[in-house]
Structure 1
Amino acid sequence: MAVVWVAAWQMDCCGDPFAVGDRVGWTVDREIDDDWFVAALGPDMASRITHAEQHHDDGRDDLPEVSGRVVSIARAWGAYCPQHPGDQVHVPVPGSHRFLEVSESGGFERHAFSGLTFNGWVVELDEDG
């Protein structure tokens, strides 16, 4: 079983919708930013992530593909704020994460939790082979 992070910005750019029961094949990165996942998703969910889906290989040709059937989908939201006063870059606020189990990736993910930012999906995938 793979647990794949699918970032909202990746899907906004060039992703295809997916649903529980669908067969998918995604290019993934196994090198994930553990600190970001812990802050954005909480330590329990972050520890489950095995791959991060990638549409943009940034010139890397060594990214593997994972394929299989979608078993579950959780939409993920969280709050952001500057790390230091005056910072232009905002970081996840630990403990602000919220999840909603859904049957498909589409919908009104940006409006479910007032004041929080939609981050993406945590997808359980029953891997082929």
Structure 2
Amino acid sequence: MEGWQLQCCGELFAVGDEVAWKLKEPDLAWLERALDPGTAILAPLGHAGRWPEETDELRFDGYLVDLIRSHDGPFGRDQRLHL
């Protein structure tokens, strides 16, 4: 998850809260350029309120691990959420 998504979309959450995000098919060509080799991507997260209700969601509760890390990629500094 990118840092701006935490800032503009949805409510803040803490350890133990239930969290859900809409998912979509990843743009693999862009991801190959943007991420380190070997990084696993299941699905990118969508903008809040912009996807149909029937869109699949990633939903979990419990502990968050390695919440935000810095990543220097070909498109500059990025903040990603690691669960």
Whether TM exceeds 0.5 here: the answer is yes
What is the match of residue 2 of structure 2? 7
Unaligned regions of 5+ residues in structure 1, if any?
1-5, 81-91, 93-115, 125-129
Counterpart pick for 1:41 among 7, 24, 35 = 35
- Name the aligned partner's letter for residue 70 of structure 2: A
Give, in whole Å, the separation in 1 of the partners of 2:9 and 2:48.
10
Give, in whole Å, the separation in 2 of the partners of 1:76 and 1:36.
19
What is the match of residue 87 of structure 1? none
Equivalenced residue count is: 80
Give, in whole Å, the separation in 1 of the partners of 2:16 and 2:44.
20
TM-score in terms of structure 1 length: 0.47
Identity %, equivalent residues: 28
Larger radius of gyration: 1
Distance 1:56 1:17, change over 3 A: closer
1:55 aligned onto 2:47:
yes
- Which has more strand, going by share of residues? 1
What is the match of residue 68 of structure 1? 60
Residue 12 of structure 1: SS of its match in structure 2?
helix
